[in-house]
Amino acid sequence: MKRNLFLGATTLIVLLSCGNDRDEGKSQQNTISQKIVGTWTIIKKESNGTNVSATLPCTNLGNFVFGSDKKLHENHNGVVNNNCVTDTDDYDYSIDENSKKITAKNSQNDVLVYVISSLSDNELILVNTEGSDTTKYTFNK
């Protein structure tokens, strides 16, 4: 009788503990704030619907670096005197998870707002509209 009681109790404990494992099979959704952290290379830039391509000797248009400390470094590549030169703009940023918007503010209080059109582990598409100018960036990580 004690043996049956022991086996029954052990079986019950095993079954109850397995019930907690059901949630482990579901993938946890990362927030935008978590997914965006890292270096994103600009692979395509459109200004008012017109493609802006990298000019040699630059091999790409630059990158955006989103830090976990809420710092954004925008590195834009351009050609000066036949040399590829990187111009860096530094911002503090915040993310509105619901509206999928990034607000970036620099030390001169200039504010940029980017709408997140798409975000996956490897691709990010941001759209910035200022007045009648719309710039669309496509990035790879």
SS (H, E, C) the chain: CHHHHHHHHHHHHHHHHHHHHHHHHCCCCCCHHHHCCEEEEEEEEEECCEEECCCCCCCCCEEEEECCCCEEEEEEEEEECCEEEEEEEEEEEEEECCCCEEEEECCCCCEEEEEEEEECCCEEEEEEEECCEEEEEEEEC
What is the pLDDT, as a whole number, of residue 129?
A: 96
Site of tokens 């607000």 = 103
What is the pLDDT, as a whole number, of residue 3?
A: 53
Site of tokens 């000066």 = 80
What is the pLDDT, as a whole number, of residue 29?
A: 72
Domain topology for 32-140? Lipocalin (2.40.128)
pLDDT tens for 85-118 read 999 999 999 999 999 999 999 999 999 999 999 9
Q: 33: exposed, middle or buried (C-beta count within 10 Å: 0-12, 13-18, 19+)?
A: middle
Residues of the chain falling short of pLDDT 50: 5-7, 12, 14-15, 19-23, 25
- Distance separating alpha carbons of residues 135 and 128, to the nearest angstrom: 5
- Distance separating alpha carbons of residues 105 and 122, to the nearest angstrom: 25
What is the pLDDT, as a whole number, of residue 28?
A: 65
What is the pLDDT, as a whole number, of residue 30?
A: 87
| CA-based nearest residue to 69, from 110, 114, 36 | 36
- pTM for this predicted structure: 0.77
The domain spans of the chain are: 32-140
Cross-strand partners of 124: 119, 139
What is the pLDDT, as a whole number, of residue 13?
A: 53
What is the pLDDT, as a whole number, of residue 70?
A: 97
